[in-house]
Structure 1
Amino acid sequence: MNDYQWFIENIKRKTGIDLAQYKEAQMKRRLTSLYEKRGLKNFQEFFHAMEKDEALFHEFLDRMTINVSEFYRNAKRWEVLEKKILPKLFEQNRRLKIWSAACSTGEEPYTVAMILSKYIPLAHVSILATDIDENAIARAKIGLYTERSLQEIPEEMKKKFFKKEGMYYQIDEKIKRAVTFKKHNLLADPFGRQFDLIVCRNVLIYFTEEAKQQLYYKFNQALRPGGILFVGSTEQIFNPALYGFEIEDTFFYRKIK
């Protein structure tokens, strides 16, 4: 067993996270740069160091899950959600059940809440947002963001839902209350059911093909008939019918009834 395989087995035993389902070359490169920065020589040293240092463990999770996010990332896709997808979903149900999967530090579910606020009172909005990284979830709950995170956000939304505090922007409490954050491992934990919309963007690209295929099936099962899966702009599903989906728009997939 090589050094990295030993690391994979011990991480799975410790956390339930199966690194074998992530693309190996990418993951090894990312984690090697982290442990070398700390003056460690190999994955075994890295694992033992994490057992003693909680901050290093959270840094590992951050590096593993690529917590890079921003509001309205790839803004044109959010416009499609607002103008085309949501009106159709609202025809069937005014109280949508929504899940933001692998939500990182919260920009994505908060973007969904802001868009929904144009259609319905925020008091009627309830979004489940999940991530494997408890540190990212803690930051999401605080709701404090840098200027860079707000680059693509429409100016009226920025004025309405953010207050500048020094170098940061604090998101409005009404938006925060619309989102419930929970820890969840996409590859290991059970999924909910009967969602109208699942947003899972810019995470599937890090998984192996086998892991991705499993997730497409699981997302399909988690949606109600006619529900929508919204993926990232490098995550096109090339044979959606194989997983029970049809193309609704670019990067939007409808569960076949």
Structure 2
Amino acid sequence: MTSEDPQFEALLAYLKESRGFDFTDYKRASLMRRVARRMAQVDAHGYGDYLDHLQVHPDEFTALFNTILINVTSFFRDPEAWAYLSEHVVPALLAEKDPDAPIRVWSAGCASGEEAYTIAILLAELIGVDQFRRRVKIYATDVDEEALAEARLATYTDRQIAGLPAHLVQRHFESTGGRHVFRKDLRRSLIFGRNDLIQDAPISRVDILTCRNALMYFNAEAQSRILSRLHFALADGGVLFLGKAEMLLSRGDMFTSVDLKRRIFRKAPVSAPRAAPAAARPAAAGTLWADGTELLGLDRLRDEAFATCPVAQVVVTVDGVVALTNRRAETLLGVSTRDVGRPFRDLELSYRPVELRGYIDQAQVERRTVRVPDVEFVRPGLEAETTVLRVDVNPLSGADAGLLGVALVFQDRTEAGRLRSKLDLTTRQAETAYEELQSTNEELETTNEELQSSVEELETTNEELQSTNEELETTNEELQSTNDELQTLNSALRDRTAELHRSRTFQHVLLASLPAGVAVVDSDLQIQAWNRNAEDLWGLREEEALGEHLLNLDMGLPTDGLRPLLRSVLSGESTREQMTVEAINRRGHTVKLQVVCVPLADHTPTPDGAIMVMTTDAV
């Protein structure tokens, strides 16, 4: 099985189209391994066969998703890391906040809820129950609806809370029906919902974000996108808590390490734009200058400055509505003031000469300028003339850092292109001189290349080791999941064994208490039960009789005479047969034996056996 298998990719596409689960960014090795596990259990011999099986058996989706979304979790998993978070990181974070400020937490990939409730316990212990109820809001998300349903119940077994200290269980759980339920008054501060880290928008202004052992299932590109979303979600100085196999190799510039060993990071501060000098900043309408005069008509001045700007600009609100256009945009791009108030997507400009809607979404999500270079545009009415544009998509934020919209700036780079062509000749002339200089630097460059090659090899080795570490951790998660399943199965088998033992004990006591000899045979006349009175009657112990053919037993019972009686009952022809025969008991006495035979009924036309009851009278 390889990552390029087209049938496997077709299976992933079917899962996405039919059930909305997109696994295309998951690591292929571990994903294939888990799908192969389900294929083996349903005896599918290829991805095509398994896709057919899914189409015929819709209930298989649940089993497959439970296998792929491993959902291995526990309270205070990796206790040392949680202790460090509780003793050092969170207290420092709380000290920086106003005593009455809200505390927002996001548990991403919460599975069955243990991690989210762990954070709740940690915060309740640090700030007290009253402040917790008043200030804390915990958002717990996952892609697995079944796991979320279990998390919302907040009900756990003895085994699931085994790692919690007794005093925490006593303070934060209520015992009912042999299970432990998280306190309802604290439970109200937790909100559970579905969120796909790849596709869905992140929760914002988060102080503490835990995303443990989730990134390692995704490939490097998906990890980078997720980390960008997590960075956006965190408030300034917010804390990110990852799993022990996860690093920030791809987006280390976004976070600073608090404790690398325990995988705790903080959001790196974003450089604030430098304020303009006081003389350069426009005053608001009605503002008094130093000489006491008031500047009037400032709004009109701003509008005229924007309208006459030599660079074409279009401003779009956060809801995608055209808010402003200037005269240069009208001349160059063919838009007009009549387009103000229209959805931007309805304008031809939104997709021609280049698809801008995707770049607008990117700029709004990442809160940074997105540049689209070298866009060729045929100006309206001048089809023979091609203009080369550079488009800058600039996000616009208010004083409260809230997103207001984007400004589309269209720079005419046509003349710059012509100048570039003229410069090409000069460049070629300079290249001749440069080649002479280049020869003198060859030795230095060779040494530099060797050093660079060594650095690249070390970086590649580091990435391979990190990938191997993540793969091992993924395998460990799968093994732990399998172990949990085996423990559940083992527990069920123990219960079944105990029930069977109780049933056999009851059967033995019941047979022993009957005043007659009782023998139970199967359809082949093999003895399945032999009570104590049968032992006293014939002198054969139970262990000597069990499993033996009734008619082959060496005792004083005239077995030949019993054949018709047993045949009638076992064939289903009769529901009760009886006869009286003379027999010799274990003491050598001749006795009259009253034999009653009834079928061993199991609601089928043909009995599985027969029950033979024997009572005696001395001759």
Q: Map of 1:82-161 to 2, 5 A cutoff?
A: 82-93=86-97, 94-118=101-125, 119-120=127-128, 121=130, 122-124=132-134, 125-161=136-172
Q: Map of 1:172-251 to 2, 5 A cutoff?
A: 172-238=183-249, 241-242=252-253, 244-249=254-259, 250-251=262-263
Which residue matches 1:256?
A: 268
Which residue matches 1:32?
A: 36
Q: Secondary structure of the residue that 1:17 maps to in structure 2?
A: coil
Q: Map of 1:73-84 to 2, 5 A cutoff?
A: 73-84=77-88
Instruction: Go from structure 1 to structure 2 and tell me whether the alpha carbon gap of 1:129 and 1:28 turns closer, same or farther (over 3 Å shift).
Output: same
- Of 190-199 and 232-241, the range deviating more from structure 2: 232-241
Q: Secondary structure of the residue that 2:24 maps to in structure 1?
A: helix
Residue identity in the other structure for 1:137: L
CA distance in 2, matches of 1:45, 1:166: 44
CA distance in 1, matches of 2:75, 2:245: 17
Gaps in structure 2 of 5+ consecutive residues:
270-619
Which residue matches 2:23?
A: 19
Residue identity in the other structure for 2:63: E
Question: How many aligned residue pairs are there?
Answer: 256
Q: Secondary structure of the residue that 2:181 maps to in structure 1?
A: strand
Cα deviation for residue 239 of structure 1 reads: 6.2
Q: Secondary structure of the residue that 2:74 maps to in structure 1?
A: coil
Q: Once the two structures are superposed, what CA deviation does each residue of 1:148-201 show, in whole Å capped at 9, x if it has no partner?
A: 322322221112222344553222222322210001111111112211111100
CA distance in 2, matches of 1:179, 1:234: 27
Cα deviation for residue 240 of structure 1 reads: 5.3
1:96, 1:196 within 8 Å by CA — same for their partners in 2? yes
CA distance in 2, matches of 1:247, 1:181: 29
Instruction: Go from structure 1 to structure 2 and tell me whether the alpha carbon gap of 1:30 and 1:173 turns closer, same or farther (over 3 Å shift).
Output: same
CA distance in 2, matches of 1:48, 1:88: 55
RMSD (CA atoms): 2.0
Cα deviation for residue 235 of structure 1 reads: 1.1
1:240, 1:247 within 8 Å by CA — same for their partners in 2? no
CA distance in 2, matches of 1:54, 1:155: 43
**2:70 paired with 1:66:** yes
Q: Secondary structure of the residue that 1:103 maps to in structure 2?
A: coil
- Of 46-55 and 98-107, the range deviating more from structure 2: 46-55
Residue identity in the other structure for 2:187: K
CA distance in 2, matches of 1:167, 1:234: 35
Instruction: Go from structure 1 to structure 2 and tell me whether the alpha carbon gap of 1:113 and 1:53 turns closer, same or farther (over 3 Å shift).
Output: farther
Q: Secondary structure of the residue that 1:20 maps to in structure 2?
A: coil
CA distance in 2, matches of 1:215, 1:53: 33
2:106, 2:208 within 8 Å by CA — same for their partners in 1? yes
Q: Secondary structure of the residue that 2:246 maps to in structure 1?
A: coil
Which residue matches 2:12?
A: 8
2:208, 2:234 within 8 Å by CA — same for their partners in 1? yes
Percent identical across equivalent pairs? 27
- Kindly indicate whether structure 1 or structure 2 has the higher relative contact order, using CA contacts under 8 Å at least 6 residues apart: 1
CA distance in 2, matches of 1:99, 1:90: 16
Q: Secondary structure of the residue that 1:234 maps to in structure 2?
A: coil
Cα deviation for residue 204 of structure 1 reads: 1.1
Q: Secondary structure of the residue that 1:89 maps to in structure 2?
A: helix
Q: Secondary structure of the residue that 1:247 maps to in structure 2?
A: strand
- Of 179-188 and 15-24, the range deviating more from structure 2: 15-24
Cα deviation for residue 35 of structure 1 reads: 2.7
Q: Secondary structure of the residue that 2:149 maps to in structure 1?
A: helix
TM-score between both structures, scaled by the size of structure 2: 0.40
CA distance in 2, matches of 1:183, 1:239: 26
1:69, 1:149 within 8 Å by CA — same for their partners in 2? no
Q: Once the two structures are superposed, what CA deviation does each residue of 1:102-142 show, in whole Å capped at 9, x if it has no partner?
A: 10000001000111112142312210000000000000011
Largest Rg, 1 or 2? 2
2:105, 2:209 within 8 Å by CA — same for their partners in 1? yes
- Of 156-165 and 197-206, the range deviating more from structure 2: 156-165
2:11, 2:47 within 8 Å by CA — same for their partners in 1? yes
- Of 157-166 and 226-235, the range deviating more from structure 2: 157-166
TM-score between both structures, scaled by the size of structure 1: 0.91
Cα deviation for residue 10 of structure 1 reads: 1.4
Residue identity in the other structure for 2:60: L
